[in-house]
Amino acid sequence: MSALTRNEAQLRAQLLDVHHYAVTLDLTTGDETFDSTTVIRFSARTPADTFVELKPEELRSATLDGRPLDPAGLTGNRLPLTGLAEGPHELRVDARMRYSRTGEGLHRFTDPADGETYVYTQMFMDDVQRVFPAFDQPDLKAVFEFTVTAPAHWTVLANGITTRTGDREGDGAGVWTSAPTPVISTYLAAVAAGPWHSVTTEHAGLPFGIHCRKSLAPHLDADADEILSVTTACYDRYHEKFTEPYPFDSYDQAFVPEFNAGAMENPGLVTFRDEFVFRSAVTDTERQRRAMVIAHEMAHMWFGDLVTLAWFDDIWLNESFAEYMGYQTLTEATRFTGTWTEFGMERKPWGYAADQRPSTHPVAPGPDDVPDTASALLNFDGISYAKGASALRQLVAWLGEKDFLAGINTHFARHKFANATLADFVDSLAAHTDRDVHAWADIWLRTTGIDTLTPEIQEGAGGWTLTVDRHGSRPHRITAGTYTRATDGLLERTDLLDLDVPSDEVISGAGPRPDLLVLNDGDLSYAKVRLDATSLETALRGLSRIPDPLTRAVVWGSLRDMVRDGELEPAAYLATAEAHLPDESDLAVVQGVLAFARHQVADLYTAPAERTAALATLTTIARDLLRRTEDGTDPGLRLAAVRAFIDSATQPDTIAAWLADGTVTGGPELDPELSWRILARLAVLGAVDEDAIDTALAADPSATGRQGAARCRAALPTPEAKAAAWQALFHDDTLSNYLFTATANGFWQPEQTELVQDYVARYYPEAIAVGARRGPAIGEAAGRWAFPVHHADEANLRAGHAALEDPEVIPMLRRVLVDQLDDLARTLRVRGA
Which DSSP string corresponds to 202-244? EETTEEEEEEE-GGGHHHHHHHHHHHHHHHHHHHHHHHHH-SS
Whole-number pLDDT of residue 460: 87
**Residue 506 pLDDT exceeds 90:** no
User: Which candidate in 104, 297, 584, 673 is catalytic?
Assistant: 297
**Residue 321 pLDDT exceeds 70:** yes
pLDDT band of 487, cuts 50, 70, 90: confident
The answer to whether the CB of 553 falls within 8 A of the CB of 523 is yes
pLDDT band of 1, cuts 50, 70, 90: low
pLDDT band of 508, cuts 50, 70, 90: confident
**Residue 241 pLDDT exceeds 80:** yes
**Residue 817 pLDDT exceeds 70:** yes
Whole-number pLDDT of residue 507: 86
pLDDT tens, position by position, 735-756: 999 999 999 999 999 999 999 9
pLDDT tens, position by position, 653-676: 999 999 999 999 999 999 999 999
Residue 297 annotated among the catalytic residues of the structure: yes
Q: Where are the domains of the chain?
A: 1-194, 196-450, 719-833
Q: Which residue has the higher pLDDT, 170 or 17?
A: 17
Alpha-carbon distance 348 to 320, whole Å?
Answer: 12
Whole-number pLDDT of residue 366: 86
- Decide yes or no: CATH 3.40.50.720 for domain 1-194: no
> Matching CATH topology for 1-194 and 196-450?
no
pTM of the model: 0.97
Compute the average pLDDT of residues 545-550: 97
Alpha-carbon distance 520 to 540, whole Å?
Answer: 18
What DSSP string describes 107-163?
EEEE-TTT--EEEEEE-TTTGGGGTS-B--STTS-BEEEEEEEE-TT-EEEESS-EE
- Mean of the per-residue pLDDT values of the chain: 97
pLDDT tens, position by position, 788-800: 999 999 999 999 9
Whole-number pLDDT of residue 229: 98
3-state secondary structure of 397: helix
Alpha-carbon distance 424 to 411, whole Å?
Answer: 7
The answer to whether the CB of 708 falls within 8 A of the CB of 676 is yes
Alpha-carbon distance 536 to 688, whole Å?
Answer: 45
Whole-number pLDDT of residue 232: 98
CATH architecture of 196-450: Orthogonal Bundle (1.10)
Alpha-carbon distance 363 to 425, whole Å?
Answer: 14
pLDDT band of 503, cuts 50, 70, 90: confident
307 HSE (CA, 13 A, CB side):
27
pLDDT tens, position by position, 611-646: 999 999 999 999 999 999 999 989 999 999 999 999
Alpha-carbon distance 119 to 452, whole Å?
Answer: 47
pLDDT tens, position by position, 405-450: 999 999 999 999 999 999 999 999 999 999 999 999 999 999 999 9
Which runs of E-coded beta strand occur in 28-100? Answer: 33-44, 48-53, 58-64, 67-69, 78-84, 87-98
Whole-number pLDDT of residue 833: 87
Give the CA distances from residue 384 to residues 122, 355, 365, 471, in Å, rounded to whole numbers and listed in that order: 20, 10, 10, 23
Whole-number pLDDT of residue 462: 84
Nearest to 101 by CA among 805, 819, 774, 783: 774
